[in-house]
Amino acid sequence: MDELDARAGLDLAFDRAAARYDLLTGLNPGYHRHLAAAADALAGRLRSDPAVLLDLGCGSGSSTAALARAIPRARIIGVDASAGMLARARAKPWPARIDFVHAPAQRLPDLGLPRADGVMAAYLLRNLSPDDRDAVLASIHAELRPGGWLVVQEYSVAGRPLAVLTWDLVCWLVVIPLSWLVRGSPRLDRDLWRSVRGFDTTDQVAARLAGAGFDAVEHRRAGGWQRGVLHTFLARRPFEGTQDAHRRTASR
Ligand SMILES: C[S@@+](CC[C@H](N)C(=O)[O-])C[C@H]1O[C@@H](n2cnc3c(N)ncnc32)[C@H](O)[C@@H]1O
């Protein structure tokens, strides 16, 4: 399967899962709390008010709602590749400052969106091929104003046997059976299990962020059953000049 087919297949899988997506995430203890914590972390870094924010891979709007609550005056644009997930998001009541755009994150440079003060990417990166992760991080960097912040929320277990065991047990004993009961098909959640198993280590995520030009990279770990499994990364687009000065120093 080539990359375009893989992307179309993923969009279709999310389209099909859209109707029950909120129900299943609602059954995940901590899902909304962790989104709120990521949105709060971003809120604490922003310097503009009202800020312009992008929510990449916004899905049915849970991450968008977390942003809207944490940063009440922000203009927020949610972007997602799945028409079904976006239809769920759009069907919810939103203030006028919130919009949604149907597009893959890989097309970010062509979308003509306003320069952003902050970007959230919650559970998006893992759904991209390794090359696309770097390309999308580079285009997020380009869409941010200097001094703007990115928050990435993602599951990662690679390289940590206890986290792998936790992830396997939770998926095969809880998530996949629940998904079978609620959706009648566990396919998306089997893909979730597999994609997390195959995803970057946390060091690789941090290295990708630095490679895309971000600085001040901070890694926060979730607690509870998601300890070692769920991670939040904050990263800043450096202020103009800082990066050039850094590059000049580094190349000496
Ligand atoms: C696990 S959901 C997370 C949704 C939301 N951010 C949340 O926290 O509830 C991942 C979302 O990423 C979207 N997605 C996957 N690949 C994408 C891509 N290349 N570009 C944009 N959205 C993508 C999917 O359609 C899906 O809605």
Q: What are the distances in angstroms from CA 167 to CA 62, 74, 96?
A: 22, 35, 39
d(CA 124, ligand 1 centre) in Å: 5
pLDDT at site 250:
37
d(CA 121, ligand 1 centre) in Å: 8
Pocket test for ligand 1, best of 7, 92, 124 (most atoms within 8 A of CB): 124
Cα angle 102-88-170, degrees, rounded to a multiple of 5: 105
Structural domains in the chain, CATH included, are 3-157+200-251 (3.40.50.150)
Which residue in the block uniquely carries the two structure tokens 């922000």?
74
What whole-number distance in Å separates Cα of residue 166 and Cα of residue 126? 18
Ligand 1 atom at shortest distance from the alpha carbon of 136 = 19
3-state helix, strand, coil in the chain (%, to 5): 55, 20, 25
Ligand 1 atom at shortest distance from the alpha carbon of 66 = 8
Ligand 1 contacts (CB < 6 A) are 10, 14, 35, 57-59, 62-63, 80-82, 85, 104-106, 122-124, 127-128
Ligand 1 atom at shortest distance from the alpha carbon of 122 = 6
H or E element at residue 64: helix 62-70
pTM: 0.92
What pLDDT tens digit does each residue of the chain (252 aa) get? 566 677 777 888 888 878 888 888 888 889 999 999 999 999 999 999 999 999 999 999 999 999 999 999 999 999 999 999 999 999 999 999 999 999 999 999 999 999 999 999 999 999 999 999 999 999 999 999 999 999 999 999 999 999 999 999 999 998 888 877 876 666 778 888 999 999 999 999 999 999 999 999 999 999 888 889 999 999 999 998 665 444 443 333
What the block records as the tokens of 153 is 């929320």
pLDDT at site 252:
32
Q: Which residue, 199, 65, 235, 190, is CA-closest to 127?
A: 199
What whole-number distance in Å separates Cα of residue 38 and Cα of residue 237? 18
pLDDT at site 181:
81
Q: Which amino acid is at 49?
A: D
d(CA 242, ligand 1 centre) in Å: 32
Which residue in the block uniquely carries the two structure tokens 């990263």?
235
pLDDT at site 25:
86
Q: Which residue, 75, 139, 71, is CA-closest to 103?
A: 139
pLDDT at site 244:
47
Ligand 1, atom 27, lies closest to the CA of: 59
pLDDT at site 242:
62
Q: Which residue, 40, 32, 55, 225, is CA-closest to 124?
A: 55
d(CA 127, ligand 1 centre) in Å: 7
- Alpha carbon of residue 161 to chain centroid: 24
d(CA 59, ligand 1 centre) in Å: 5
